[in-house]
Homo-oligomer: A and B are copies of this chain.
Amino acid sequence: MNSSMNQQILLNSRPIGEPKESDFALVETPIPEPGEGEVLNRTIYLSLDPYMRGRMSDRASYAAAVELGSVMVGGTVSQVMKSNHPQFSAGDFVLGYDGWQAYGISRGETLRKLDPKEAPLSYALGVTGMPGMTAYFALLDVGQPQAGETVVVSAASGAVGAVAGQIALIKGLRVVGVAGSDAKCDYVVKELGFDACINRKTQDLSSALKATCPKGIDVYFDNTAGSILEAVLQQINQGARIPLVGLISQYNAENLPPGPNLMPLLIKRALIKGFLVSDYQHRHSEFVKDVSSWLQEGKLKYKEDVVQKLENAPHAFMGLLQGKNFGKLIVQVSSDPTR
């Protein structure tokens, strides 16, 4: 890599089914110059998240598709290299949305300064960032968890699920995770303190849910939809709440598969409600206050899966959609001077 050049990963073609390497293109371009009111950032960390699969397709979603030939979108933690913006100076650390590239230009209003003394910089892409905030508001606002109830969390060791489950523990619920390997299940039970965890690849979901949720399921924090949602509905309690946070099980599907039969919703007067964290920006401070203190008190643990080098982002992202990551997946694009 030529250090005077920018490195970018572009969307090269729209994936059919699972993305493959050739759907991405790594290119080198000159490092851009910031214009009036703009900032040049050097990317330290790039966040990889399942929602990015949706942006690669041109079917209707909650956000516009990435144009073919454009830089893949994504949240970033960066250091400001040059600033033509009064609120930022070279050397500042910032949370932004520069995408899959080594250098990005931002207008200042899309940036938030980060203080590396408060938490490791990369946390802003995870536990104190969008995934953590998703966990916090989807669980508390849609899930309405009550002490003594039972919550099931799918993708339980993931960036969102692990936080959701731990917040449920803090709120006094019985917490059962669903994850894709014994190692992940061990982690959420032994490290995070979940009451139980089901390995969806080796266990029968229905019988495992019956065994681990003897009083039924009051809240299902749904990151996946698909067969897990279907099995959960069979054990759902009256008045249950299901925040629908993700549909990872089908992000690579070419044709959207049918959902579960909804009879249990009627019988149990339960609700499923779609959730996007962007609706909660005005409540960001509530989230930061609680999560920061839980982190400091050791009540909230956080695991990262850090991949080195931007060029490895496509492969890591493909693994994310297959559940191969273990913890919040981020790409370290350049060195972190605070670590």
A contacts, CB < 8 Å to B: 60-62, 225, 229, 244-247, 250, 256-276, 279
Q: Which residues of B contact A244 (CB under 8 A)?
A: 262, 265-266
For the complex with contacts A269-B273, A272-B272, 4 further pairs of A-B residues with Cβ separation under 8 Å are: A246-B266, A257-B261, A259-B260, A266-B276
Q: Do B263 and A270 touch (CB < 8 A)? A: no
Q: Do A261 and B258 touch (CB < 8 A)? A: yes
Q: Which residues of B contact A279 (CB under 8 A)?
A: 269
Q: Which of B247, B262, B267, B268 contacts A266 (CB 8 A)?
A: B247
Q: Do B265 and A272 touch (CB < 8 A)? A: yes
Complex CA distance for A257 and B259, rounded to whole angstroms: 10
Q: Which residues of B contact A246 (CB under 8 A)?
A: 266
Number of chain copies forming the complex: 2
Complex CA distance for A244 and B61, rounded to whole angstroms: 24
Q: Which residues of B contact A247 (CB under 8 A)?
A: 262-263, 266
Q: Given A271-B272, A271-B274 in contact, is the A256-B266 Cβ separation under 8 Å?
A: no
Nearest CB of B to A259, in Å = 4
Q: Given A269-B276, A269-B279, A271-B274 in contact, is the A260-B263 Cβ separation under 8 Å?
A: no
Q: Do B273 and A263 touch (CB < 8 A)? A: no
Complex CA distance for A216 and B267, rounded to whole angstroms: 28
Nearest CB of B to A189, in Å = 28
Complex CA distance for A279 and B266, rounded to whole angstroms: 12
Q: Do A265 and B274 touch (CB < 8 A)? A: yes
Most chain B C-beta atoms within 10 Å of own C-beta, residue among A61, A247, A258, A274: A274
Complex CA distance for A279 and B257, rounded to whole angstroms: 33
Complex CA distance for A214 and B263, rounded to whole angstroms: 30
Most chain B C-beta atoms within 10 Å of own C-beta, residue among A246, A247, A250: A247
Q: Do B275 and A263 touch (CB < 8 A)? A: no
Please provide the 9 A-B residue pairs with the shortest distance between their CB atoms, ordered closest to farther.
A258-B258, A265-B274, A271-B273, A266-B274, A256-B261, A259-B259, A62-B267, A259-B262, A269-B274
Q: Which residues of B contact A271 (CB under 8 A)?
A: 271-274
Complex CA distance for A273 and B262, rounded to whole angstroms: 10
Complex CA distance for A246 and B266, rounded to whole angstroms: 7
Most chain B C-beta atoms within 10 Å of own C-beta, residue among A259, A260, A262, A264: A262
Complex CA distance for A65 and B230, rounded to whole angstroms: 24
CB<8 Å pairs between A and B, sample of 24:
A60-B267, A62-B267, A244-B266, A245-B266, A246-B266, A247-B262, A256-B261, A256-B263, A257-B261, A258-B260, A258-B261, A259-B261, A262-B272, A265-B273, A265-B274, A266-B274, A266-B276, A267-B274, A268-B274, A269-B273, A269-B274, A269-B275, A270-B273, A271-B273
